[in-house]
Amino acid sequence: MSKTTSNSKGEQQAVEDVSNQVAEQPISDNATAEPRPAPRPADAERRPPHNGPNLTPRAIAKAEIFVEGDHVVYPTHGVGKVERIAVEEIAGHKLELIHITFEENRMTLRVPVAKARTAGLRKLATRKLFDEALNVLRGKARIKRTMWSRRAQEYEAKINSGDPLAIAEVVRDLHRNAGQPDQSFSERQIYEAAMDRLAAELGALDKTDKLTAITKLTDFLKTV
C-alpha cells in the first residue's frame, strides 16, 4: 500500500506504508519521465526464469548521516542530491524523510531516514575508492562462457548495486577499442548504462557535468 499526494506543481508523490519496503516511486513533472534503472535487452525480457544460482544481493551501505545539499547515490537510480530532510505524516505515522532529487530524470524520491541504510543509500565514493574503480578499468575483460541473457542479467545487477567497482567491471568487460568486434545492440545498451552511472558519480566528485566525465572516462579507456 502507498499513499499518494500532490505538491504545488501537481507532481505525484508516493511513499510506501511503513510496513513495506522504502518507496522508489518518482515525482515527475512530465508524464513520460520514468526512473531509469539499467535497460533490459529485448531478448532477456522474453526469456523464462532461469534455474541457476541467485545473483549476489545488494550490499547494505554503512550507516551515514545525510544533510541538505549532499550528493548521494541511490542504487537503482544513481547520483542524486538531498533537497531536504523533513518529518512528514505518512499513513498515520510520522516519518523523517530524505527528499532526493534526480535532476536529469525530473524525479524525486522520499526515503525514510530509518531505512536509508538498508535501501543502500550512500554518499559519493571517496576519491580513493574511485581510483580503485579506474584501476578496474585497466584490467583485462573477464567474459564468462555463459549465455548472453544470463550475463546481461548479472551486468544489470552490478549496475543497480550502486557499487562503483562493480559498475566499472561492466564497463571494462563490454568496452571495445578500435580493431575489436563491435558491440551488439544489447551490449551497447548495458555498456552505456554502466558508463552513465560511473560518469555521473565521477562528475559529482570532480564538480563537473556528466558529459565532461564521460569524455574523461572515454579518453582514459583509450590508454588501457
Q: Could you report the per-residue pLDDT of 2-35, keeping only the tens digit for each?
A: 444 445 444 434 343 333 444 444 444 433 334 4
CA distance 121 to 155: 20
Could you give the residue range(s) of every CATH 2.40.10.170 domain in the chain?
A: 2-34+60-119
CATH number of 2-34+60-119: 2.40.10.170
Average pLDDT over residues 94-109: 93
pLDDT category of residue 102 using cuts at 50, 70 and 90: very high
78 in Cβ contact with 197 (< 8 Å): yes
- Per-residue burial over 128-144, b if 16 or more Cβ lie within 10 Å, else e, is eebeebbebbeeeeeee
Show the cell assigned to 173.
568487460
Alpha helices in 84-163 (DSSP H): 127-138, 148-159
CA distance 186 to 4: 35
Average pLDDT over residues 155-171: 96
Q: Does the domain spanning 127-222 belong to CATH 1.20.58.1290?
A: yes
